[in-house]
Structure 1
Amino acid sequence: MESVEPVTDGRPRRRRGWRIVLIILLVLALLGVGGVVAGGLYLRSVESDIERVDAFEALPQEERPQVVAEKAMNIMILGSDSRDPEQMSGSRTDTIILAHVPQDRKSAQLISIPRDTWVHIPRSKDGQNGGRTAKINAAFAWGGVPLMVQTVERFTKVRVDHVVMVDFAGFTEIIDALGGIDVNAEQTFTSTHAPYRTYRKGVQRLDGEAALDYSRQRKQFPDGDFARIRHQQQVIKGILDKAASGGLLTNPAKLNDFLQAVSSAVSVDKKLSLVDIAAKLRHLRGGNLTFMTSPTRGTGQVGTESVVFADDEKAKTFYDAVRRDAVPEILSTGR
């Protein structure tokens, strides 16, 4: 197993965030282990420090998808990396994941929706934006979380139960606290960002800074942003696997530092209860997760914009399975 060695250029290394959008789910799942009263009380104290966002109250309720599988749960996770060298505006979310947790709570499916997916965006509440097709992440810039929820619900026909927003700045410390994570690079490549690390093909250990950098890489790959999504998914799984096996739960100091860092970087909707979610997700581990990407027909151009086109027919079938809580059945049958 190799460690990544950056090619330095004499410039000081800046502290950067990382795009691990499942981090809050990891925390909730870990805290659910054991179900002790003290853990619940501590979780409530952490919960009080987390910022709340109004995700649903402004939505036209009559237009929202109906709930089909009442005990299943769908969580929209939005992430931004404001320190990304390529990030031109902090107002757009560059990571969109719909996390589906079946009613039996034995697994979870994480569905990445490419940020450039060309969809219809409803008109914003102020009437100034939307009402037309655009890249899906424009919804956040035009109408914040409510318009993002409305856009994803209209695109997928799946009702969103909760929203988690992650600001990744400063989260490298969490991976470092775990002693790094392991990823399996599909090929040898060099980062396009300083300090221009070289990642070797195969399994290698990454610290927090390297994991952030790895999750950003896309220009070296023929499928571009889809490679970035794969790298994000690899890092998410690496964190889950390392946290589950790295003694985090048995080290109170480590766990406290971990949770405090998370609470400062996460916002959730007003109705999300960390205590309830922790109990529901207590059995989740890396092996229980399936990473998926929303069905697409590939990329293309609309005017001057490079976009991702959804495969409407496949997406309709796929998201119907999500709505009916039948995704595990599809995965097991291969249909």
Structure 2
Amino acid sequence: MVASRIVAGLLSVLLLAGSGWGWYLGQVADATVNRTDAIPADGNEDSGDVGEAMNLLLVGNDSRSNLTDEQLAEFNAGTDSGVNTDTMILAHVPADGSRASFVSFPRDSWVEIPGYGWDKLNAAYAYGYADAGSADQSGRQAAGARLLVRTINRLTGLQIDHYAEVDLLGFFELSSVVGGVEVNLCTAVDDREWSGAFFPAGPQTISGADALRFVRQRHGLPGGDFDRIVRQQVFIAGVLRKMLSEDVLLDLGKQRELVQAAAESLTVDEDLDLLQLAEQMQSVTTGSIEFQTVPNLGVDREGDKSIVRLEEEETLRRFFAELSAEPEEPASEDAAPPETVDPSEVSVAVFNGSGASGLAAQAETELDAEGFTVVSTGNADSSDYLQTVVRHAAGDETLAATVAAAVPGAVTEVVDGATPGTVQLVLGTDFNGVGEATDVQPPAEAGAGEDARTAADTGCIN
């Protein structure tokens, strides 16, 4: 179920394995965790290059088979569906273990399921489960997991190395052990008919049954499943912060409870070494954990089905390949400034994109005073430019750097339509004059089509 996206948190408790006590707890977890034959023998056939990075598929199991009637009522969990996998997250840890990326897949993602054609992603597990026929329960679950892994392999171009799933009861117990997580709702919600969610607006701490209701809700949210994904990512981040806080790291009793909850609630593939995973992730901190949603075009229809249309295959493959790319180093304060020339060697065409009358003429006068050669002035293609831009043809980087140095804060970009030898200065509303720094622009608000990581990092949530 959606609530089970917290499986990432269950696994991260094994970060405690750095100490002798953590090693002992890790041994206990490794010995008692449930195992399943989830990784297909032909797991590489649909994937791309296999590197040293680790890809773990985290799945929420919707089964209520281990819940009592009282718990079903408390969690507002309805009846047992058995094979739903509404929660699917790819956890990617690069070879150096310095960071971790969690990529959520909407359950209605329209994908190609090997052997079954195109369907919603959460149908993959169900197809494999049903295809196992007369196998016992564990055998059908393993078949469902294998087909889901093959589907994700084909979709991402990666190889899924390991698999883990968690159930509703495990999520409930974990969120209770950490003492809850603070969330901030933009508006009050009342979804008692479906998920049971009933919360006031504003900051609040939720745990246990309330945590389940919070991350399961999708009815009544403006963005439906997308808003639900944001909720889960916010909640996971909160749980990770709690787990890595001194309140937990220095409390052996809480460590024991967390590992016990993880061991009893997790089902992992046959080859996943939890201690080895802990060692690989030891240098990961909450600041180096990134939450994203698979690139998509939003909600669409396919026949009579409401689906989430994903980006084209080339875009998806590039997105997942870049998960292991080294993050760009920030420019050093000691780095040499870009090479410039004397302003008299630079020809500038000035365009007013600010909407303020007379600004191009003002810039012309000021550029002339600085020694630049202004070859023309005029209006830009739009009067809505917020940021001043220095545009130039490829090869004119030095000329552009000279103009940018005269307008601190302006950004530079290469454009195909620029005349070689002439730099375009497009004035935005941030322009304060040549020799004056531009105004700092506020970050753009998260739009409906942006990924959930951005939305999850901005104040309150739906």
Task: Name the TM-score, length of structure 2 as normaliser.
Answer: 0.61
SS state at 2:159 partner? coil
Deviation at 1:73, TM superposition (A): 1.3
State the 1:62 CA deviation: 5.7
The equivalent position to 2:97 in structure 1, one of 74, 96, 105, is 105
Instruction: Find the residue that maps to 2:107 and give its secondary structure.
Output: coil
- CA distance 1:103–1:175, shift in 2 (3 Å): same
| 1:320 matched residue in structure 2 | 321
- Measured in 1, the distance between the counterparts of 2:21 and 2:170 equals 28
Q: Which residue of 2 aligns with 1:281?
A: 281
Aligned equivalent of 1:71? 52
Instruction: Give deviations 1:111-140, integer Å, cap 9, x for gaps.
Output: 0011110111002xxxxxx2x101111111
Is the contact made by 2:35 and 2:268 (CA closer than 8 Å) also made in structure 1? yes
Q: Counterpart in 2 of 1:45?
A: 28
Q: Distance in 2 between matches of 1:141 and 1:174?
A: 27
User: Quick one: which of 6, 9, 26 aligns to 2:12?
Assistant: 26
- Equivalent pair of 2:43/2:159 in contact (CA under 8 Å): no
Equivalent in the alignment of 1:247: 247
Amino acid at match of 1:71: E
What amino acid is aligned across from residue 146 of structure 1 in structure 2?
R
Moved more, 39-48 or 236-245: 39-48
SS at 1:297 equivalent? strand
Q: Deviations over 1:215-259 (max 9, x none)?
A: 012222222110111111111011111222252222222211221
Residues 310 and 86 (structure 1), Cα distance of their counterparts in 2 relative to 1, 3 Å cut = farther
Q: Distance in 2 between matches of 1:283 and 1:271?
A: 22
Residue 86 (structure 1) shift: 6.5
Residue-by-residue CA offset, 1:30-64 (whole Å, 9 max, x unaligned)? x23xx2344323311221111111122x4425614
Cα deviation, 1:292-318, whole Å, max 9, x if unaligned, reads: 000111112222221111011532321
State the shift of 1:275 in Å: 0.9
Q: Which amino acid aligns with 1:42?
A: L
Corresponding residue for 2:290?
290
Task: Tell me if structure 1 keeps the 8 A contact 2:62–2:168.
Answer: yes
Gapped runs of 5+ residues in structure 2? 65-75, 129-143, 332-462
1:299 counterpart letter in structure 2: V
Structure 2 SS opposite 1:321: helix
Question: What TM-score do the two structures reach when normalised by structure 1?
Answer: 0.82
Shift in alpha-carbon separation, 1:112–1:330, aligned structure 2, 3 A: farther
Residues 59-103 of structure 1, C-alpha deviation per residue, up to 9 Å, x if partnerless? 4256142434x2221111111233564677221211000111122
Match of 1:137 in 2: 122
Query: What amino acid sits opposite 2:25 in the alignment?
Result: Y
Preserved contact between residue 181 and residue 207 of structure 1 (Cα < 8 Å): yes
Take 2:275 and 2:298, find their aligned partners in 1: how far apart are those partners? 40
What residue number does 1:258 align with? 258
Identity over aligned residues, as a percent? 36
**Deviation larger for 82-91 or 246-255:** 82-91
| Aligned partner of residue 150 in structure 1, secondary structure | helix
Could you say if the C-alpha distance between residues 179 and 53 of structure 1 is closer, same or farther in structure 2, counting changes exceeding 3 Å? same
CA displacement at 1:263 relative to structure 2: 0.7
Matches of 2:104 and 2:330, distance apart in 1: 16
CA RMSD of superposed structures (Å): 2.5
Could you tell me how far 1:199 is from its partner in structure 2? 2.7
In structure 2, do the counterparts of structure 1 residues 236 and 82 end up closer, same or farther at CA, with 3 Å as the change threshold? Answer: same
The 8 Å contact of residues 7 and 59 in structure 2, kept in 1 or not, is answered as: yes
The change in CA–CA distance for 1:302 and 1:243 in structure 2 (over 3 A counts) is: same
Q: Which sits farther off after the overlay, 196-205 or 90-99?
A: 196-205
Q: Is the 8 A contact 1:77 1:96 kept in 2?
A: yes
Contact 1:105 1:283 in 2 (8 A): yes
1:171 is matched with: 171
Does residue 117 (structure 1) correspond to residue 109 (structure 2)? The answer is yes
CA change 1:135–1:75 in 2 (3 A) is same
Deviation at 1:330, TM superposition (A): 11
2-structure distance, mates of 1:185, 1:246:
27
Question: CA 1:228–1:308 in structure 2 vs 1: closer, same or farther (change >3 Å)?
Answer: same
Q: 1:265 to 1:112 in 2, by over 3 A?
A: same
Structure 2 letter corresponding to 1:224: G
CA offset at residue 286 of structure 1?
2.6
Distance 1:62 1:316 in 2: 15
Map Cα deviations across residues 154-182 of structure 1 (whole Å, 9 max, x no partner): 01111111111111224323222222111
